[in-house]
């Protein structure tokens, strides 16, 4: 075998192994994502978050808008309060108050009535770990799989498939360059409607107390589409515990 032939074979082997050598593991992608979001130490310091802004809801009769307030408290307590101006459709103000205290979920709806959150939706609330589902997912028995790169909004993105012990499988796309989240998708069981795939996209990330927070959140499904524009974010402020609890259970 000539020297030239040997060099060609070695060159081919190096090229063949190069993609494998550069491939990333799921742990590497998750750690780079956590670093992009501010790092494990900074995220671990965030015990609560209060966000205020506006919501624009797309409907067959036009766009409805109003103020929105979202509260989160570790590990998974949440409250979302929405007020929509329905004067354009001949009605007054619509108020939706969704709460989860870590165990019980409840929705107070001025138009459709009050209801307990049950089944698949309740399990998804339990799995919505704040401030990040990746900080301790292994300890919680959650598995994450890394898929091939895909295009999301013209950007290369890593697909992370998150599987908890119960609830919906969550797919999250992370920007392959910045490692910030681009999109999250999951299928949700909605009473009277059935299974609906909900997709949420994130943009306009800003630094708040050393942690990256999206100030534009767009969500779409066959049931509804809306955009939240955040105007203010506060971390680790005292939140009244009763705001997460179903009224009457205090």
Residue whose token pair is 């974010």: 233
Question: Which residues have CB under 8 Å from 199's CB, separation 6+?
Answer: 183, 184, 185, 219, 220, 221
Question: 76: domain range?
Answer: 26-244
CA–CA dist 135, 144 (Å, integer): 12
Spatial CA neighbour of 124 closest among 167, 165, 164, 161: 167
Tell me the two tokens of residue 200. Answer: 């949420």
User: Which phi and psi (to 5°) does residue 76 adopt?
Assistant: -155, 20
> Is residue 214, in this structure, part of any structural domain at all?
yes
Read off the pTM. Answer: 0.87
pLDDT in tens, the chain (250 residues): 554 444 544 444 444 443 343 468 999 999 999 999 999 999 999 999 999 999 999 887 778 899 999 999 999 999 999 999 888 777 788 999 999 999 999 999 998 899 999 999 999 999 999 999 999 999 999 999 999 999 999 999 999 999 999 999 999 999 999 999 999 999 998 877 788 999 999 999 999 999 999 999 999 998 789 999 999 999 999 999 999 999 976 5
CATH number at residue 238: 2.50.20.10
Whether omega before 131 lies within 30 degrees of 0, making that bond cis, reads yes
150-174: buried (b, 16+ CB within 10 Å) or exposed (e) per residue? Answer: eebeeeebbbbebbbeebbebbbbb
> Is residue 10, in this structure, part of any structural domain at all?
no
| Structural domains in the chain (count) | 1
Taking residue 33's Cβ as centre, other Cβ atoms within 10 Å add up to 20
Taking residue 190's Cβ as centre, other Cβ atoms within 10 Å add up to 15
The pLDDT score that the predictor gives to residue 227 is 97
> Is residue 12, in this structure, part of any structural domain at all?
no
Residue whose token pair is 């028995």: 141
> Is residue 78, in this structure, part of any structural domain at all?
yes
> Is residue 196, in this structure, part of any structural domain at all?
yes
> Is residue 237, in this structure, part of any structural domain at all?
yes
CA–CA dist 196, 173 (Å, integer): 19
> Is residue 6, in this structure, part of any structural domain at all?
no
> Is residue 122, in this structure, part of any structural domain at all?
yes
CA–CA dist 171, 188 (Å, integer): 13
């Amino acid at each position: 075998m000539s020297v030239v032939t040997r060099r060609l074979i070695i060159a081919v082997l190096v090229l063949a192994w190069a993609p494998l050598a550069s491939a990333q593991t799921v742990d590497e992608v998750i750690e780079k994502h956590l670093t992009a979001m501010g790092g494990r130490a900074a995220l671990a310091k965030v015990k609560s978050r209060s966000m205020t802004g506006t919501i624009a809801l797309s409907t067959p009769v036009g766009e409805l808008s109003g103020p929105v307030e979202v509260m989160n408290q570790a590990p998974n307590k949440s409250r979302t309060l929405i007020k929509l101006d329905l004067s354009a459709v001949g009605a007054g103000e619509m108020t939706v108050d969704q709460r989860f205290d870590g165990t019980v979920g409840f929705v107070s709806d001025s138009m459709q009535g009050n209801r307990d959150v049950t089944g698949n939706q309740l399990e998804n609330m339990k799995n919505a770990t704040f401030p990040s589902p990746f900080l301790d997912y292994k300890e919680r028995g959650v598995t994450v799989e890394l898929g091939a790169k895909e295009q999301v909004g013209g950007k290369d993105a890593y697909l992370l498939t998150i599987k908890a012990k119960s609830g919906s499988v969550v797919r999250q796309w992370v920007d392959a360059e910045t490692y910030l989240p681009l999109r999250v998708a999951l299928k949700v069981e909605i009473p009277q409607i059935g299974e609906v795939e909900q997709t949420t996209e994130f943009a306009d990330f800003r630094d708040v107390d050393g942690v990256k927070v999206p100030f534009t959140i767009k969500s779409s499904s066959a049931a509804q589409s809306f955009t939240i524009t955040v105007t203010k974010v506060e971390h680790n402020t005292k939140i009244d515990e009763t705001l997460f609890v179903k009224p009457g259970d205090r």
